[in-house]
């Protein structure tokens, strides 16, 4: 039985099951993202719909073109590669955020209270973050899962949630200031309560899966400097969790984890501890 006959046999079977379809796709398919996605899906209807489309394309019975992996040809190396010059170690300067009204004396009166609120929230968030780290140091010296350990763990979880709320409030203050600088008036409340934008096709699980993983990479990079990237991390977590809920609903399970700031801080501390032990 050749490839097309094998595919047609499954496609024409009125009682076809997804297990055989997955075997055929892994045998003849080329999109490795789909290999991983099919292993995650537990909903039979979703699986069959996707397999039907993909296998029709492979069999040449679909108007859609078969997806082909991108091939990048490597140029032939004729000369030995030179060792790149070593860069001098320089400390990166932190990115300076633009303040539309940097001069306190020239700020519009309507923005004075917003700037004061923003500064208070910022200081409060910084102090709470320092306290979070300090409690983590104490927790590391306690016996795992002991009463004191769990008390500190719960306290840090609440602190992490409060830190995120504070940074969201700081971000809202900046939104008001930026909106005023562009429009000459303060924004309506609904402008500040917009839902997180999902930068992927919500009807395409493959694209959503890829975006969810990409956001994990963005979050990891931003967590290298968590104090400076609090707002950015919060936005990434919101979008990531929105996508996770959509995907979990599609596949009928909780395989896509809901990310939290507390878990990220704990993961970062564990990584740093492992690196210290290696030194």
How high is the mean pLDDT of the chain? 78
- Compare 118 and 89 and report the one with higher pLDDT: 118
Residue ranges of the domains in the chain?
3-58, 104-192, 205-278
**171-176 long-range contacts, CB within 8 A, separation 24+:** 171/231, 171/234, 173/114, 173/115, 173/117, 173/118, 173/121, 174/118, 176/111, 176/114
Is 255:205 a contact under the CB 8 Å cutoff?
Answer: no
Mean pLDDT along residues 211-228: 85
Q: What angle do CA 50, 56, 57 make, to 5 degrees?
A: 95
pTM of the model: 0.42
- Compare 92 and 273 and report the one with higher pLDDT: 273
d(CA 51, CA 49): 6
For residue 64, pLDDT beyond 70: no
Is 135:156 a contact under the CB 8 Å cutoff?
Answer: yes
For residue 75, pLDDT beyond 70: no
Q: 42: helix, coil or strand?
A: coil
pLDDT tens sequence across 136-152 = 888 888 888 889 888 98
For residue 13, pLDDT beyond 50: yes
Q: Which of 64-73, 131-140, 170-179 has the lowest mean pLDDT?
A: 64-73
d(CA 175, CA 177): 5
């Amino acid at each position: 039985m050749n490839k097309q006959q094998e595919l047609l046999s499954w496609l024409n079977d009125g009682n076809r099951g997804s297990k055989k379809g997955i075997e055929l796709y892994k045998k003849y398919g080329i999109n490795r993202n789909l290999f991983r996605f099919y292993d995650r899906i537990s909903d039979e209807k979703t699986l069959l719909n996707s397999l039907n489309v993909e296998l029709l394309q492979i069999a040449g019975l679909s108007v859609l073109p078969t997806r082909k992996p991108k091939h990048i040809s490597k140029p032939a190396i004729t000369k030995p590669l030179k060792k790149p010059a070593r860069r001098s170690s320089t400390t990166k300067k932190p990115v300076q955020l633009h303040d539309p009204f940097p001069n306190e004396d020239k700020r519009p009166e309507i923005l004075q209270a917003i700037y004061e609120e923003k500064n208070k929230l910022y200081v409060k968030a910084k102090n709470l973050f320092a306290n979070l780290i300090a409690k983590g140091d104490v927790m590391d010296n306690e016996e795992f899962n002991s009463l004191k350990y769990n008390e500190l763990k719960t306290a840090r979880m609440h602190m992490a949630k409060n830190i995120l709320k504070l940074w969201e409030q700081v971000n809202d203050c900046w939104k008001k200031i930026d909106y005023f600088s562009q429009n000459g008036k303060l924004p309506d409340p609904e402008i500040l309560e917009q839902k997180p934008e999902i930068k992927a096709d919500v009807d395409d699980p493959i694209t959503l899966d890829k975006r969810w993983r990409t956001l994990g990479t963005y979050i990891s990079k931003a967590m290298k400097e968590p104090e400076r990237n609090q707002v950015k991390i919060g936005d990434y977590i919101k979008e990531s969790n929105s996508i996770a809920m959509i995907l979990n609903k599609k596949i009928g399970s909780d395989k896509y984890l809901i990310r939290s700031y507390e878990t990220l801080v704990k993961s970062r501390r564990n990584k740093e501890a492992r690196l210290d032990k290696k030194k």
